[in-house]
């Protein structure tokens, strides 16, 4: 017997029964079900405008203080929790897989290892002490906080990365360790809450040291005025940036090629548990090697292009955040972050004081690790330490190159200790 087609009367009765149900339930089924499908299909449409708006907002002081990374994460959180965009999409996973490794590779293509010869013994000691102090603090507190934070051992590695070279390392290590998007967003928020006041203090420290007899008595090792000013022939710190479409094409080609090679090798060499981390380490290593080729190193715009690609990924972090889970996990991560940064600075100060490292190198090594090379150079410039502008830049660049290695190393050390 053939199946009968429902008559118009039956369909009408069914519609009446549906609309007599709880309006909230009906709304969830009809609106969210169909609208989520609609949003998932259109998810990629939101990336470009969100990233563009995030960079445009940097002209305003409030957003410039946040920085482009945290700005787009906050925008993404607002949009997803207002149901403007979906909290999950296959596109997000695709961007996570490709954007971060590509960004890491492109950002490292201007690293000239020969320039590191300009670093004398004293700044290298200061930088080594800063990196060692961060690793020790993250290892100790990573073990203590392991049971209080979801993916605590991953968060520890992420903080080692971000405090040995900047936020780009945090993102790279997070992807290498397969951290959840909620964990990445919470770590970025904690880094902002603790890191920004610390950085403000670092900018104020040269003036405080210069005017305080107590600080000079506590730390009697510093450079003379003539050593800091030099002969006065120094390049301008903030020069205009010009780069061509051909350079962009070459940077992308080299970046994609490096990511492909590292991905292929890691899939053959490393086991499932270390494959993502191994890929990030191989990308870092291959990119540093390629950067020693003069023609590659001279390609302009790598930092800007790398930042743009990384921000594309960070938008998806904001999109994927559930605020209820986010606020539940942020407190302990923020406390963990504070303990790491406070204790690492304290340990660094003790080590460098015992080794009689001069004040200027100590401060620049802290800033080069906590932030990045350009920020360390900016502090040197604002303090009129003209001979140390390039030194601060090099210290930050070297710390950033080492950050992925030590961050992933510390993360797996904590994992082995706690048996995660």
Span 9-28, pLDDT tens digits: 444 434 433 444 444 444 34
Q: What percent of the chain has pLDDT over 90?
A: 8
* H helix runs in 163-244, sequence order: 167-176, 181-211, 213-218, 225-229
Q: Which of 416, 412, 360, 369 is nearest to 394 (CA)?
A: 369
Output the six-digit token pair for 144. 């203590």
Which pair of tokens denotes residue 67? 């920085």
Q: What is the pLDDT of residue 382?
A: 67
Please write the tens of the pLDDT for every residue from 30-85. 333 444 444 444 555 666 778 788 888 878 877 776 667 777 878 888 887 787 77
Cα–Cα nearest to 193, from 55, 344, 74: 74
Q: Which residues of the chain have pLDDT under 50?
A: 1-41, 233-239
Q: Give the per-residue pLDDT at 10.
A: 43
What pLDDT is stored for residue 261 in this prediction?
A: 92
Q: What is the DSSP letter of 89?
A: -
Check: pTM over 0.85? Answer yes or no.
Answer: no
The domain locations on the chain are: 44-230+243-418
Can you read off the two tokens belonging to residue 397? 């660049």
CB-CB contact of 223 with 123 (8 Å):
no
Q: Give the pLDDT confidence score for residue 329 in this predicted structure.
A: 56
294: phi then psi, degrees, rounded to nearest 5: -55, -40
Please state the φ and ψ torsions of residue 320, each to the nearest 5 degrees. Answer: -90, 0
CA–CA distance, 27 with 345 (Å, rounded to integer): 53
- Nearest alpha carbon to residue 192 among 62, 78, 55: 62
Q: Are 353 and 196 in contact (CB under 8 A)?
A: no
């Amino acid at each position: 017997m053939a199946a009968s087609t429902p008559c118009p009367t039956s369909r009408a009765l069914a519609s009446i029964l549906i609309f007599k149900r709880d309006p909230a339930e009906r709304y969830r089924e009809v609106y969210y079900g169909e609208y989520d499908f609609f949003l998932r299909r259109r998810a990629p449409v939101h990336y470009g405008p969100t990233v563009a708006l995030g960079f445009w907002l940097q002209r305003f002081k409030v957003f410039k203080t946040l920085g482009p990374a945290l700005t787009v994460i906050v925008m993404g959180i607002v949009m997803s929790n207002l149901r403007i965009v979906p909290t999950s999409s296959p596109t997000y996973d695709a961007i996570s897989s490709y954007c971060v490794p590509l960004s890491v590779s492109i950002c490292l293509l201007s690293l000239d290892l020969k320039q590191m010869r300009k670093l004398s013994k004293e700044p290298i000691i200061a930088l080594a002490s800063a990196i060692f102090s961060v690793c020790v603090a993250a290892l100790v507190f990573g073990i203590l906080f392991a049971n209080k934070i979801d993916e605590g051992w991953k968060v520890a590695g992420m903080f080692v990365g971000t405090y040995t070279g900047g936020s780009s390392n945090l993102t790279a290590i997070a992807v290498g360790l397969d951290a959840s998007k909620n964990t990445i967003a919470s770590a970025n928020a904690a880094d902002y809450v603790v890191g920004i006041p610390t950085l403000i203090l670092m900018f104020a420290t040269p003036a405080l040291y210069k005017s305080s007899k107590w600080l000079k008595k506590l730390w009697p090792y510093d450079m003379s005025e003539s050593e800091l000013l030099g002969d006065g022939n120094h390049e301008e710190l903030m020069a205009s940036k010009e780069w061509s479409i051909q350079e962009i094409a070459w940077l992308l080609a080299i970046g994609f090629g490096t990511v492909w090679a590292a991905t292929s090798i890691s899939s053959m060499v490393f086991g499932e548990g270390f494959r993502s981390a191994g890929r990030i380490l191989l990308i870092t290593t291959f990119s540093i090697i390629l950067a020693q080729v003069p023609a590659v190193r001279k390609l302009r715009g790598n930092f800007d292009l790398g930042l743009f690609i990384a921000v594309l990924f960070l938008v998806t972090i904001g999109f994927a955040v559930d605020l209820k889970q986010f606020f539940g996990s942020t407190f302990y991560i923020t406390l963990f972050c504070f303990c790491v940064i406070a204790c690492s600075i304290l340990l660094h100060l003790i080590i460098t004081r015992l080794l009689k490292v001069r004040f200027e190198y100590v401060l620049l090594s802290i800033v080069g690790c906590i932030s990045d090379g350009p920020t360390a150079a900016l502090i040197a410039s604002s303090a009129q330490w003209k001979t140390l502008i390039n030194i601060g830049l090099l210290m930050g660049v070297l710390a950033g190159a080492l950050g992925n290695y030590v961050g992933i190393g510390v993360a797996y050390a904590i994992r082995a200790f706690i048996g995660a």
